[in-house]
């Protein structure tokens, strides 16, 4: 059952998952932030009418933009950048000049650059440690099988810049790609004070050795990366977060280029009990909700904690810079959920398959063994989600909208492509011949069978072994 919290000021929903009538409320919570493309604000509707002259859905908007960029190239990119972002760019000004990157770096706070270097080292250490390695399997008869991994040649990195600047996202996308050995990185960020005009973001680009930065965002930037246009060579893969239109555009261009995921707004579930300080829980929920939108959910089997967390939310919101936006996120996309116990909590965590899962309860390692589906898991009271957002080593680009049931967080391995290598000798082929021929014959593919049997026919030669 779902009901508003009685605590004044923050009407965050409460759900008692022990009751049989709670299923509908939990399902609404699960689907609330899924990037299905059906929800648009009134301001968004007005902008759509202004630009396109008709009430298109977000999916239709993205289809229109992507088709236009594919057919008209740079002209369409510049046109949509002017209409949607209010920035009049030219072919010459679209790409950030090297001297702008160098100037931003020279004027950057030395402490910021020192922080960037330390975080880069953390990321590189982890991302190189998990990198896939080639595998070779020897087989009887002298042949071998091999799985080899090669870096992509070129990747596109989407960095948001609407409501805040995100140099951390640049780190979390560029460093895994560099760990994999990607040669060319193309960064796109909207032409805003928080995006590609942000001096800190440009300084971090220069510090990381990223020299290709474009002042464009939204669906037109994704389309430009996927299809290529004048001055913007197409990429092999597009990664990084963005708004609904970026997510839908990534889905639209998949097949022309690879993508990491179709990500929606950010999420956290905090699993807590009587050992968890309520002020920690409230701070963790607020940290995610201030993304606005951001989903922040408490799951607990310790019923008194719900009221204590609600009180802490009210107290801490009063001291927050983005309190109204955060309050709206908590009320629209948050919940305080009571469950029967640890096993019930684990089942619910897997059902919601959240982006960030903070196991802040007692014996978090034991709880980890019960849970399978999450983008990233944070264990214990001293592992809040911002540790992963900014410094730890795994990328903070993670699956959202319950897609952690089948999707992974971004890592260096996403910038690798693999292929298998099969090297048979005459003896190996002879040993496998009957099985291959039998299966090919059953399938009616006699040409396949003959391609094998001809190599054992009298008078033929074997050029391998």
DSSP assignment string, 392-425: SSS-S----TTGGGT-----GGGGEEEEEEEE--
Measured CA to CA, the distance from residue 144 to residue 69 in angstroms comes to: 46
Is pTM beyond 0.85? Reply is yes
pLDDT digits (tens, 9 = 90+) for 218-252: 999 999 999 999 999 999 999 999 888 999 999 99
Question: Predicted confidence band at 36 (pLDDT cuts at 50, 70, 90)?
Answer: low
pLDDT digits (tens, 9 = 90+) for 291-330: 877 889 999 999 999 999 999 999 999 888 777 888 888 9
User: Mean pLDDT over residues 139-148, rounded?
Assistant: 94
Lowest mean pLDDT among 86-90, 263-267, 279-283, 391-395: 263-267
* Catalytic site positions: 355-356
- Name the percent of the chain lying above pLDDT 90: 78
Measured CA to CA, the distance from residue 81 to residue 339 in angstroms comes to: 48
Cβ burial, residue 23 (10 Å; 0-12/13-18/19+) = exposed
Lowest mean pLDDT among 51-55, 368-372, 461-465: 461-465
In the block, which residue shows the tokens 């250490």?
A: 125
Measured CA to CA, the distance from residue 429 to residue 450 in angstroms comes to: 13
Q: For residue 357, give Cα distances in angstroms to 191, 276, 298.
A: 33, 15, 10
Q: State the alpha helices, DSSP H only, in 130-240.
A: 167-180, 199-208, 218-227
Q: For residue 225, give Cα distances in angstroms to 222, 298, 453.
A: 5, 39, 47
Measured CA to CA, the distance from residue 414 to residue 258 in angstroms comes to: 10
pLDDT digits (tens, 9 = 90+) for 63-76: 999 999 999 999 99
CA angle, residues 109, 391, 413, in degrees to nearest 5:
120
Measured CA to CA, the distance from residue 59 to residue 40 in angstroms comes to: 11
Instruction: Note whether 356 and 337 are within 8 A (CB).
Output: no
In the DSSP assignment, the letter for residue 130 is T
| C-alpha 305 chain-centroid distance | 32
In the block, which residue shows the tokens 């330390």?
A: 118
| C-alpha 317 chain-centroid distance | 28
Instruction: Note whether 398 and 357 are within 8 A (CB).
Output: no
pLDDT digits (tens, 9 = 90+) for 356-372: 999 999 999 999 999 99
pLDDT digits (tens, 9 = 90+) for 84-106: 999 999 999 999 999 999 999 99
Instruction: Note whether 273 and 306 are within 8 A (CB).
Output: no
User: Mean pLDDT over residues 128-135, rounded?
Assistant: 97
Measured CA to CA, the distance from residue 276 to residue 273 in angstroms comes to: 6
Q: Among 259, 263, 228, which Cα is nearest to 247's?
A: 263
Identify the bridge partners of residue 15 per DSSP, sorted by sequence position. 2, 337
* pLDDT confidence of residue 372: 96
User: Mean pLDDT over residues 245-268, rounded?
Assistant: 92
Going from the N-terminus, what domains does the chain have, and what CATH number goes with each? 2-34+264-392 (3.40.50.1980), 98-262 (3.40.50.1980), 425-465 (no CATH)
Lowest mean pLDDT among 32-46, 117-131, 388-402, 449-463: 32-46
Note the residue count of the chain.
Answer: 465
* pLDDT confidence of residue 5: 43
DSSP assignment string, 310-350: HHHHHHHHTT-TTHHHHHHHHHHH-EEEE-SSHHHHHHHHH
Measured CA to CA, the distance from residue 436 to residue 110 in angstroms comes to: 64
Structure tokens of 157? 């990195």
Lowest mean pLDDT among 26-40, 51-65, 131-145: 26-40
Measured CA to CA, the distance from residue 324 to residue 10 in angstroms comes to: 10
Measured CA to CA, the distance from residue 209 to residue 189 in angstroms comes to: 17
Instruction: Note whether 291 and 266 are within 8 A (CB).
Output: yes
Measured CA to CA, the distance from residue 442 to residue 452 in angstroms comes to: 15
């Amino acid at each position: 059952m779902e009901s508003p919290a009685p605590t004044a000021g923050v009407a965050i929903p409460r759900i008692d998952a022990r009751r049989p009538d709670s299923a509908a409320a939990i399902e609404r919570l699960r689907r609330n932030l899924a990037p299905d493309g059906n929800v648009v604000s009134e301001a968004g509707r007005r902008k759509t009418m202004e630009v396109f002259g008709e009430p298109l859905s977000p999916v239709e908007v993205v289809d229109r933009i992507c088709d236009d960029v594919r057919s008209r190239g740079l002209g369409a990119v510049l046109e949509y950048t002017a209409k949607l972002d209010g920035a009049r760019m030219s072919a010459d000004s679209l790409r950030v000049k090297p001297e702008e990157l160098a100037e931003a770096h020279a004027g950057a706070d030395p402490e910021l650059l020192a922080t960037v270097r330390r975080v880069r080292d953390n990321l590189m250490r982890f991302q190189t440690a998990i990198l896939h390695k080639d595998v070779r399997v020897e087989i009887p008869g002298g042949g071998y099988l091999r799985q080899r991994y090669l870096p992509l040649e070129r990747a596109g990195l989407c960095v948001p810049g609407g409501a805040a600047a995100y140099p951390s996202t640049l780190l979390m996308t560029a460093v895994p790609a560099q760990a994999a050995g990607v040669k060319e990185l193309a960064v796109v960020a909207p032409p805003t004070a928080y995006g590609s005009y942000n001096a800190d973001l440009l300084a971090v680009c220069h510090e990381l050795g990223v020299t290709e930065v474009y002042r464009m965002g939204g669906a037109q930037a994704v389309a430009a990366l996927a299809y290529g246009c004048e001055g913007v060579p197409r990429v092999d893969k597009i990664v990084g977060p963005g708004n609904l239109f970026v997510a839908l555009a990534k889905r639209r261009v998949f097949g022309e280029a690879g993508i990491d995921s179709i990500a929606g707004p950010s999420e956290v579930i905090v699993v807590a009990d009587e050992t968890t300080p309520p002020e920690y829980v409230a701070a963790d929920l607020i940290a995610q909700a201030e993304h606005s939108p951001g989903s922040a959910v408490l799951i607990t089997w310790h019923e008194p904690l719900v009221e204590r967390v609600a009180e802490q939310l009210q107290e801490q919101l009063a001291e927050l810079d983005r309190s109204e936006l955060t309050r709206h996120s908590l009320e629209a996309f948050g919940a305080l959920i009571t469950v029967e116990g640890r096993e019930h909590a684990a089942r619910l965590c897997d059902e919601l398959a959240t982006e960030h899962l903070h196991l802040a309860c007692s014996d978090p390692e034991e709880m980890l063994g019960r849970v399978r589906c999450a983008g990233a898991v944070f264990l214990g009271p001293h592992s809040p989600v911002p540790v992963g957002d900014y410094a730890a080593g795994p990328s903070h680009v993670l699956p959202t909208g319950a897609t952690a049931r089948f999707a992974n967080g971004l890592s260096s391995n996403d910038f690798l492509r693999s292929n298998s290598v099969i090297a048979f000798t005459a003896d190996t082929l002879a040993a496998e011949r009957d099985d291959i021929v039998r299966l090919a014959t059953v399938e009616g593919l006699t040409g396949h069978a003959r391609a094998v049997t001809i190599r054992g026919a009298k008078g033929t030669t074997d050029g391998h072994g």
